[in-house]
Chains A and B, each alone.
Chain A
Amino acid sequence: MKRIGVFVCWCGSNIAETVDVKKVVEVIKKYPGVAHAEDYIFVCSNPGQKLVQETIKEKRLDSLVIACCSPTLHETTFRDLSRLTGLNPYQCEIANIREQCSWVHKDNKEEATRKAIKIIRTIVEKANQNESLEPISTPVTRQALVIGGGIAGIQASLDIANAGYEVLLVERNPSIGGHMIQLSETFPTLDCSQCILTPKMVEVSRHPKIRVLAYSEVQEISGYVGNFNVKILKKPRYVIEDKCNLCGKCVDVCPVAAPSEFDNNLAARKAIYLPFPQAIPATYTIDIEHCPGFLPIACGKCADVCEPQAIDFDMRPEIIEEKVGAIVVATGYDLYSPKNIGEYGNGKYEDVMDGMQFERLLSATGPTGGEVRRLSDNKVPKRVVFVSCVGSRDTEHHLPYCSKICCMYMAKHAMLYKHKVPDGEAIVFYIDTRAGGKGYEEFVTRTQEEDKVIYIRGKASKIFKNGNGKLIVWGADTLLGKQVEVECDMVVLSMAMVPSNGAKDLISKLKIPSDAYGFVNEAHPKLRPVESISAGFYLAGCTQAPKDIPETVAQASGAASKVTDLFAEEELKHEPIVAAVDEDLCSGCGICVPLCPYDARELEIKDEKRIAKVNEILCEGCGSCISACPSAAVQQRNFKDNQIFKMVDAILS
């Protein structure tokens, strides 16, 4: 029998007010195996920890049960303490008598005390049979994979690379830059988006530790934290990156036009194109959806004029296999489509556009060179209505969440419109204005007071064209309590932000949890905001939730620092609470193999006998295989069957 020490924590009054700790100690002291029992006001405090340490030595304890709060909070504290005192950390157990007892039985002290005793007894039984275990260690591949080349991915890549580690940046579009490269000026300081982003893009392209794989997608992923194997599909551009000298002659001769993604379909590009002048990698791409065809090569005019012979119609997709230790997911967002909004015309009116299109209209690199004009007749609109929360905050029909940044960019749009068209009229329909951020409220006030933008509190209920072909916005002014009807030249819809399309597919490949809308979940909403609960995955930017650029950059740097933390370790430690096979009992039936969700089980031939073995690095200790094994040959370390039976006995006694 072991010599077990039990410490019952009061947790100030959290436990002691409900549980009679003195009585608990008295009863537990007599329980078989318990060599010492004691209560203390805060066992986790410094003096509390000292007390435990001294007692371990003094009473020669070889196991420890701390009856306190949940193990998610202080298990690490006391296991570290055990290690420092010379006791194997896996000999230390937590009995949760706060969340599972005192907090839920506040009005029944007697019952709570009885229950606390039972909980502690159960854990004493477990501790009694615990083995001393050592963490499983594995080497780390010090190369990070960053998925998504928006500002989030760019920042994370730079930070990781600057710390001295290799980075593989995978972007599915022909160029990195994400949505930020499309923005005109950014709130609240109105600095030009491209001017602040392009230096970072150039830095990425020149960085000796960063490899950019644009026009590529992650196809397959396997392995575990520290040792992932990824397969990346590099789509053919049909232009050899290293040969293209950006002369642009191909574009002049290309006979086919297609909508430009960079200009959000407001202008055309050719079938061979550079998404925007500062694109990285700096090379053209043939869009085979619009190029009239390669078998046979229908036109080939681009190849005829390309002096460096950069065009290769026979280029094939390439599969690149790499090993990485950590993965940053930075796939960003897309906008909810106006086609979903019936009452605003399902996207069929040319002069009703979404925020990103208006952003292109405002941009000096946009289709109009920065002049605000109508697509229908190229005239300058004299009255523009901005509508907030389109698709957002609509529990009934669309998305319940707030997209967080629309209030701000709407104010920015109205302000910039007034700067460009001083005699124009800007009207904003808003539900309420959410301007939480440094300098944000002041920015909105400036829009209203200096730039005389009219704010109408209320939702626009309908947008339509009247008999004269004029756009009409119907809405309610909830402050005045009356209906309003505004005739205008243009409407800009602040569409909700949604996870980037294709993110769902990627997330299912990565097997990381996401919320109902497809935003990737963080491990803890407050304390672990840049990690996924799946080890080795980190999140940055709008892939996690809608946010603005400063927050995106901060999160990206946070994710990067978590990656560098991981890479700084010599070896990774993995919990030893895993499945273990008793080879004498295993019949080699193989039932366990397909059941393991982590691919940790496989059959091998050993001494001419089939044995199912466990890859301890992959095993997460879920127990699926254990409950399925008909020979009871698999046991979970420190959760063995006879341990669990003893625990059940103890709680029922």
Chain B
Amino acid sequence: MKFFNNGMKTPCGEIHIVKDRCKGCGFCVTYCPMDVLELSDEFNTKGYHFPEVKNPENCINCGLCEMLCPDFAIWSTLKEEKEVIEVLT
């Protein structure tokens, strides 16, 4: 759905991962509200599947993945603020 630009902005997050810290628990993948992540088919050096970003433009930088991760392996930072001219319906 298209919108007139009324100056409203929303953030887009950048996901950072330290692959080898990950123990593949899947908390971040399961509970990311925007379906940004998926578990990779690859293994890290410890033999776990780590998360990968599949929908980078969906990330709202909410930081939930960062808080849930028991191993400090994933976090988000603000990439950019986008003007809202469209939402998916």
Contacts and interface: CB of A to CB of B under 8 A. Distances in A.
Given A257-B84, A299-B64, 4 more contacts: A259-B1, A267-B3, A292-B62, A375-B4
B64 A298 contact: yes
A367 interface: yes
Contact of B87 (A258, A292, A293, A378): A258
A293 B4 contact: no
Tier of interface size on chain A? 20 to 34
A255 B3 contact: no
A277 interface: no
A375 B2 CA distance: 7
Contacts of A191: none
A259 B4 CA distance: 11
Nearest to B78: A255
A376 B3 CA distance: 9
Contacts of B87: 257-259, 268
Contacts of A267: 3-4, 6, 8
Given A256-B60, A301-B62, A292 B33 contact: yes
Q: Give chain A's interface secondary structure class.
A: loop
Contacts of B3: 259, 265-268, 367, 375
Contacts of B1: 259, 265
Considering the complex of A and B, which 3 residue pairs feature the smallest CB-CB distances, nearest first? A292-B33, A255-B60, A367-B4
B31 interface: yes
13 contacts: A255-B11, A255-B60, A257-B8, A257-B87, A258-B87, A268-B84, A269-B8, A270-B8, A292-B62, A296-B31, A350-B2, A367-B4, A375-B3
Contacts of B6: 267-268, 367
A258 B89 CA distance: 9
A255 B1 CA distance: 18
Interface in A280-300: 292-293, 296, 298-299
B63 interface: yes
Interface string A361-374: 00000011000010
A369 to B, nearest CB: 9
Contacts of A256: 10, 60
Nearest to B4: A367
Given A256-B60, A299-B63, A266 B4 contact: yes
Contacts of A270: 8, 10
A645 B1 CA distance: 70
Contact of B4 (A254, A299, A378): A378
Interface of B: 1-6, 8, 10-11, 31, 33-34, 60-64, 68, 84, 87, 89
Contact of A299 (B60, B68, B89): B60
Nearest to A371: B4
Contacts of A259: 1, 3, 87, 89
Nearest to A253: B11
Q: Give chain B's interface secondary structure class.
A: loop
A375 B85 CA distance: 10
A368 B4 contact: yes
Nearest to A373: B4
A53 B5 CA distance: 78
Nearest to A257: B84
A255 B4 contact: no
Nearest to B82: A257
Nearest to B87: A257
A292 B34 contact: yes
A373 B89 CA distance: 23
Nearest to B13: A255
Contacts of A368: 4
Nearest to B68: A296
Nearest to A291: B33
Contacts of A268: 3, 6, 8, 84, 87
Nearest to A251: B8
B88 to A, nearest CB: 11
Interface string A296-324: 10110100000000000000000000000
A299 to B, nearest CB: 4
A298 B62 contact: yes
Given A268-B87, A301-B62, A255 B10 contact: yes
Interface in A456-488: none
A8 to B, nearest CB: 72
A319 to B, nearest CB: 29
A292 B2 contact: no
Interface in A241-269: 254-259, 265-269
B62 A255 contact: yes
Contact of B10 (A257, A375, A376, A378): A257
Contacts of B60: 255-256, 292, 299
B33 A298 contact: yes
